[in-house]
Structure 1
Amino acid sequence: MSLYEFLGTIEVGLVFGLVALGAFLSFRVLQFPDLTVEGSFPLGAAVAAVLILKGVPPGAATLAAGASGFAAGYLTATLNVRFGILNILAGILVAIGLYSINLRVMGGPNAPLLGQRTIFSGLNGFGVPSFWLTPLLAGAIVVTVKFALDLFLSTGVGLAMRAAGANPAMSAANGVDVGRMKLLGLGMANALTALSGALFAQLFGAADAYMGIGVVIVGLASVIVGNSLLPARTLVLATFACLVGALLYRFAVALALNADFLGLQASDVQLVTAALVALTLIAQRSPGRMGRLFKAGAR
């Protein structure tokens, strides 16, 4: 792996760290299996790309993308809380609907940003190659969001949200509006995912309607891998583990695709992701068995 590929992998891993934080919020905090991210990720990319093409400053376009993701998550929670639709089905319905909305927003299957000013364009005037500074800016954004999420989850509303996910019945008995917590939490989770999509589109110079395929697995893989390797008893360490998991996941995929003896191609990225998640889950459930297998393979 070259230096350029190494730094590029870090960039992508950091950007997808926001997806991991969103997955942590929905799957771990709220205990809500949310599939809306398959649509909210490209939605964020589409909104940011179209606004940038219309002359909106990249920072404002990125924030608008996050707001659009919040609306998508809020809609999913509304279908579940207000209308009693099964959580998984509600996410699928919104994700399917967002596919058509994304096509409408972009006026086609994609929106190129080549030659447009993005949030990363301002890094070209420091006399240092942008491939060094881009990971630093991406890291600064992700770390800022991570600490903001930590602070929120430590407030009264955040504690109520965590309680609503851990024990809905007990929380409701103590006066917590569980439905409202779901509305807020899923909105925030998808806002993080849409923000990731907006950064990803600006990083690679285009938004595409199909770029959300497999995003939910990426988020889950990051959370599972990170919390498996770095078991955390505190919230700050748990969110940090998610970011570490996102980076490790991207490096694992990059190494697998660059291993010539495996014969994998770029189109096999989803297969590699599924295999990584499956192996991590198997190792979690039967650590003794996995240890014996590794020892046997070492002989």
Structure 2
Amino acid sequence: MDFYLAAVLQGLCFSGLALGIYLSMKIFNIPDITTDGSYTLGGTVTGIMLAAHIPQGFILPAVLLSGGVAGGITGFIHTKLRINALLAGILVMTALYSVNLTLMGRSNLPLLAFANLFGNWALTGSQGPDSLIVLLVITAALVFLLGYVLRTDFGIAMRATGNSESMVRALGVNTDRMKITGLAMANALTATSGYLVVQLQGFADINMGIGIVITGLGSVVIGETIIRRFRVVQPVSVLAILLAGAVLFQLALAVTLTLGIDPTLLKLVTALFVLLIVSLPRIFQSRTA
């Protein structure tokens, strides 16, 4: 049971990642590979600030700012320098590897000896349920905050930019600014996942972000399948289902491991699982056509 609770906690930690992928890939139609670097950047900033005994109230804003800057740089390269969005993300992700390594000063930073977000609460007397409650509060706050933003005029303009950029530009909206802001928000959310995962697992690692975009994409695809099935349109409900998708994705991987799959093959299993959930709807659609 503790094994599956750990999977749920991991899925909730990836809530920011799922929301960030949703913003970049589904709202703006931009395949943003900056995710791999900004996720690690969030963990790196968290690790060095925890090691310096800086209060939590300062760590999260710093994480959001660092992720936002990373995403904003990708957006600037894409919109102002007219570089392909995929290439812009790869360039920033590559640069962030050196940035993260320089900030940490080593490839791995252990943090078990330092107080963290999950050690400051004694709500039920058990660490697992306490961590679950903390994560539920944080993810709920993320959902309602982002849901509110998407319902504002600014959020509607963001969604319209992804749907029909030329139409929005004709209405006088600066689409370049929208893309830069959107990618900054997406990577700030992704960095939040790094912030949570590092504190949950007790260490920051330079390679923790490798392939993490696949995890986020799998979460979004599962969430979108549920959204289409039940025809959900309300922004808050859509975002909440995306978080459920992140949890379900981690639970599916947990079940796979309990079946005896070698943990060293987890990345391969993750890639195959994402391929499966992406391709199955299209296969069924082609058969019914």
Q: Say whether 1:140 aligns with 2:137.
A: yes
Aligned length: 285
1:29/1:161 contact within 8 Å kept = yes
Deviations 1:134-172 (A, max 9, x none): 011011101110110000011111111111111100000
Aligned equivalents of 2:28, 2:199: Cα separation in 1: 30
After TM superposition, which residue ranges in structure 1, 4 or more long, deviate above 6 angstroms?
Answer: none
Query: TM-score normalized by structure 2?
Result: 0.95
Name 2:187's counterpart in structure 1: 190
Name 2:196's counterpart in structure 1: 199
1:59/1:119 contact within 8 Å kept = no
Matching residue's letter, 2:35: V
1:11/1:135 contact within 8 Å kept = yes
Aligned equivalents of 1:126, 1:163: Cα separation in 2: 43
Aligned equivalents of 2:124, 2:17: Cα separation in 1: 32
Structure 2 gaps of 5+ residues are: none
Deviations 1:77-133 (A, max 9, x none): 00001101100000000000000000000011121111101111112x446111111
Shift of 1:272: 1.5
Q: Say whether 1:214 aligns with 2:211.
A: yes
Name 1:181's counterpart in structure 2: 178
Matching residue's letter, 1:202: Q
Change (3 A) 1:288 1:177: closer
Structure 2 residue matching 1:193: 3-state secondary structure: helix
Shift of 1:233: 2.7
Shift of 1:61: 1.1
**RMSD, matched Cα:** 1.4
Alignment map for 1:86-101 (pairs within 5 Å): 86-101=84-99
Name 1:102's counterpart in structure 2: 100
Deviations 1:173-211 (A, max 9, x none): 001110000111000000000011011001111111100
1:23/1:223 contact within 8 Å kept = yes
Between 1:187-196 and 1:127-136, the stretch displaced more is 127-136
Structure 1 residue matching 2:204: 3-state secondary structure: strand
Alignment map for 1:214-293 (pairs within 5 Å): 214-231=211-228, 232-260=232-260, 264-287=261-284
Name 2:51's counterpart in structure 1: 53
Deviations 1:6-39 (A, max 9, x none): 2111110001111000000111111111000100
Aligned equivalents of 1:234, 1:288: Cα separation in 2: 26
Structure 2 residue matching 1:286: 3-state secondary structure: helix
Aligned equivalents of 2:218, 2:195: Cα separation in 1: 21
Matching residue's letter, 1:59: G
